[in-house]
Amino acid sequence: MHNGAGRRGMWLWAAALAVYAFLYLPLLIVIVYSFNDSRLNAEWVGFTWHWYDVLLHDEDMLAAAGNSLFIAVVSSFSATVLGTMAGIAMYRYKMKVLTFMVMAPVAMPEILLGVSLLLFFIQVLNLTLGMLSIVLAHITFSIGFVAIVVRTSLAGLDESMFEAARDSGASPWETFRYITFPLILPGVIAGGLMAFTLSLDDFVITFFTAGVGVSTLPLRIYSMIKIAVTPEVNAVSTLLMLLTLTIIVLASRIAPNVLRFKT
């Protein structure tokens, strides 16, 4: 009996290691080859910082990175405000229609959302595709993620605190300002960081809504790998990966329970 349990444990560990290797080994290879002193990824030649230095002097890459950061900051701030309001409404009113409308962009395939936003901007709003259309598109798909986190934060609070505030004569605004918002603030910040990360990494929806003449970091990387996966691509991918992981770790430190989606 004891030996059987031990063998099952070994198989589970082996399966877990195989899954982790499948998930993270490709990322590790990208990081390692970003330091390869060769223009080709065929073999390891030697260690170098050269490709990171090339990135610092690549004006097109810096412009794309600047666009990505600007879009991520503006869209994540807007999505945080709107997503917080939506999350509070979902928690207070328990309306299935409202929850469905907020959550639909989260569950919808990105390519479908990108095409629908493209048609909406061009045919309904008569909007010229560019920075504004990308920001609006990123706000659209980020609101649902922020609303989920905020709603989860509210679900973990004790309802008696709000009842006590109302019994003491506090108005709905005073209850929100002095009790509700401070308590859900970690969730709001975590939701905003998630929205920032999603915006920074997004490729599919950005591809459909960018138009001509505006490029972001994911679009720039895609244009580069059409020719070949060079060490410069590996270097910029490594930096983007580190930035994304840093934000995720920061969000998990701010609101660990919220990011586990506890109810």
Provide the number of structural domains found in the chain.
Answer: 1
Q: Is the dihedral of CA 46, 51, 52, 54 positive or negative?
A: positive
φ, ψ at 168 (rounded to 5°): -85, 0
Question: What would the two tokens of residue 88 be?
Answer: 């509070």
pLDDT band at 119 (very low <50, low <70, confident <90, very high): very high
Q: What is the pLDDT of residue 263?
A: 41
What distance in Å separates the CA atoms of residue 216 and residue 32, rounded to the nearest whole number? Answer: 24
The average pLDDT across 16-28 equals: 89
User: Would you say residue 259 has pLDDT above 60?
Assistant: no
Euclidean distance between CA atoms 99 and 87, whole angstroms = 9
Categorize the per-residue pLDDT at 85 as very low, low, confident or very high, splitting at 50, 70 and 90.
very high
For residue 47, list its beta bridge partners. 36
Q: How confident is the model at residue 1 (pLDDT cuts 50, 70, 90)?
A: low
What's the CATH number where 208 sits?
1.10.3720.10
Domain annotation covers residue 136: yes
- The H or E element containing residue 116 is helix 110-119
Residue 262 pLDDT class (50, 70, 90 cuts): very low
Q: Quick check: is 4 in a domain? A: no
The chain-wide mean pLDDT, for the chain, equals 85
Return the pLDDT at 73.
Answer: 94
Neighbour count for residue 145 (Cβ, 10 Å)? 20
Domain that holds residue 115: 56-254
Amino acid 5: pLDDT: 67
CA distance readout (Å), 78 to 25, 75, 161, 197: 36, 5, 29, 14
- Using the structure block, give the residue that is written with the tokens 């580069």: 224
Task: Please state, in angstroms and rounded to a whole number, the distance separating the CA atoms of residues 84 and 191.
Answer: 9
Note whether residue 2 is domain-resident: no
Cβ atoms of 46 and 106 within 8 Å: the answer is no
The single-letter DSSP state of residue 176 is I
In a domain, 7, yes or no: no
Residue 72 lies in a domain: yes
Structure confidence by residue, pLDDT tens digits, 49-65? 888 988 888 888 888 88
Residue 123 · residue 217 · CB < 8 Å = no
Better pLDDT: 2 or 157? 157
* Whole-number percent of the chain with pLDDT over 90: 22
> For residue 107, what are its two tokens?
């569950």
Is 263 part of any domain? no
Predicted pLDDT of residue 116 = 92
| Alpha-carbon separation of residue 75 from 121, 197, 206 (angstroms) | 17, 11, 12
Cα–Cα distances (Å) from 98 to 14, 79, 86, 91, in that order, read 44, 17, 8, 10
Contacts of 241 (CB under 8 A, 6+ apart): 27, 30, 31
Q: Can you tell me the mean pLDDT for 202-226?
A: 87
pLDDT of 189 > 50? The answer is yes
Torsion-angle region of residue 261: left (phi > 0), alpha (psi -120 to 50) or beta? left
> Is 47 among the domain residues?
no
- The pLDDT, as a whole number, for residue 76 is 94
Q: Is the pLDDT of residue 179 over 60?
A: yes
Cα 215 from Cα 65, distance rounded (Å) = 9
pLDDT score of 38: 80
Does residue 185 lie within any of the structural domains? yes
